[in-house]
């Protein structure tokens, strides 16, 4: 047998003998890419391109294998193809996991998404699960591959194209919805004239659901490094006062509340970042920090809220979100204590917004309200 025909068989035997090597390499490359993220655009490009090409191969696998057999008189062994896709899945999933692990807000629904990615990576490691159940069911296998491609694009697109996390999410979701067509076509068992409408409706539902659940998907290249809820702020040194978990209504009325966040953005930050103030799940204020230029190592930002309800007691959150609604992180605190209600804030006093920036241009926009906000383009 010619040596070029024995090479695939040797590769299969090597993969069977050392099944964890590929996964270990994928995880190691992901960790290295995480710590040197700005230097791995080429590697991310390769990962994304291989994922896309392998999806095309999976869809056209039977026709391509027949063409190769007619052309070269040799059929590609099915085990070789499956080991190849297993290697691609392991490399892709373990490449993105370090990014998602760091960016995930674990006390939110994002933990479910990252957990699902971890489960997909585990499935690629367990040979009986991968080869005997996953790869033998075509529509399940295509769905699994499309989900993996979606996750890889979320991380790779900001690295490759240097676009915002919102644009990356839209593009990755659009690609995933389009590539879901073969899986949904095989899943829907209807007559041909009705199948296209049913598949179209399912694709629309998939895209709508993916967009509505974007809050649960971590922005892979943005994460919080420092947070604080405080009643004082050193704006010159961009340092918050004592971090609090419980605040009294009197403190809120007398001093207001500062929400301080330090955002790590290795690829730079050129998009709207909002501090969304919520009380018992209801939005009370949304203040946008429009930051542009400089500071790839990170950004410090604060908002100072003074307009509160007459009785502000309850559970409060300050969500840090992008302009497309992806959550970078959340701060939680509780208001409890004295019962004396404060007088309502007159509408005339809800007109002042102040901005502060230490380095570089900055602008702060938001709906009228007694609030202050500031950004620092230095590294946290």
How many angstroms separate the CA atoms of 201 and 196, rounded? 9
What is the layout of strands, in order, in the sheet containing 327-335?
Answer: 246-247, 327-335, 314-322, 272-279, 282-291, 362-366
If one counts every other C-beta atom within 10 angstroms of the C-beta of residue 359, the result is: 12
How many angstroms separate the CA atoms of 303 and 286, rounded? 10
pLDDT in tens, 307-324: 888 888 999 999 999 988
Do residues 235 and 205 touch, judged by C-beta distance below 8 A?
no
State pTM to two decimals: 0.74
Ranges of the chain whose pLDDT falls below 70: 1-45, 47-48, 51-52, 55, 57-65, 74-80, 189-192, 290-298, 338-380
Angle at 212 between CA 147 and CA 201, to 5 degrees: 70
pLDDT in tens, 62-106: 666 677 777 777 666 666 677 777 777 887 888 888 889 889 999
């Amino acid at each position: 047998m010619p040596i070029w025909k024995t090479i695939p068989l040797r590769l299969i035997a090597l993969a069977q003998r050392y099944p964890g090597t590929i996964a270990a390499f994928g995880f190691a490359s992901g960790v290295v890419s995480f710590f040197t993220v700005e230097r791995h655009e080429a590697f991310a490009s390769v990962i994304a391109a291989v994922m896309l090409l392998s999806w095309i191969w999976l869809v056209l696998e039977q026709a391509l294998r027949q063409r190769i057999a007619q052309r070269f008189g040799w059929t590609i062994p099915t085990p070789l193809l499956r080991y190849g896709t297993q290697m691609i899945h392991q490399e892709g999933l373990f490449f993105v996991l370090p990014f998602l692990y760091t960016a995930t807000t674990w006390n939110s629904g994002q933990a479910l998404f990252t957990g699902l990615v971890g489960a997909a990576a585990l499935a690629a490691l367990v040979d009986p699960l991968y080869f005997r159940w996953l790869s033998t069911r075509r529509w399940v296998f295509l769905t699994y591959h499309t989900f993996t491609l979606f996750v890889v694009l979320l991380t790779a697109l900001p690295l490759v194209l240097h676009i915002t996390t919102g644009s990356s999410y839209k593009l990755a979701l659009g690609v995933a919805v389009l590539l879901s067509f073969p899986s949904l076509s095989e899943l829907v068992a209807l007559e041909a004239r009705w199948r296209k409408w049913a598949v179209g409706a399912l694709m629309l539902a998939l895209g709508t659901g993916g967009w509505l659940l974007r809050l649960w998907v971590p922005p892979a290249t943005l994460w919080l490094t420092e947070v604080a809820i405080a009643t004082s702020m050193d704006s010159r040194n961009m340092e918050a006062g004592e971090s609090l978990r419980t605040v009294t209504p009197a403190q809120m009325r007398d001093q207001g509340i500062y929400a301080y966040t330090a955002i790590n953005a290795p690829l730079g930050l050129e998009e709207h970042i909002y501090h969304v103030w919520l009380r018992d799940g209801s939005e009370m204020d949304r203040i946008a920090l429009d930051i542009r230029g400089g500071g790839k190592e990170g950004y410090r930002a604060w908002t100072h809220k003074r307009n509160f309800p007459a009785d502000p007691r309850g559970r409060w959150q300050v969500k840090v979100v992008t302009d497309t609604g992806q959550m970078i992180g959340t701060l939680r605190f509780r208001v409890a204590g004295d019962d004396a209600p404060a007088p309502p804030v007159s509408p005339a006093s809800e007109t002042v917004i102040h901005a502060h920036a230490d380095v570089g241009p900055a602008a702060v926009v938001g709906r009228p309200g007694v609030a202050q906000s500031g950004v620092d383009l230095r590294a946290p």
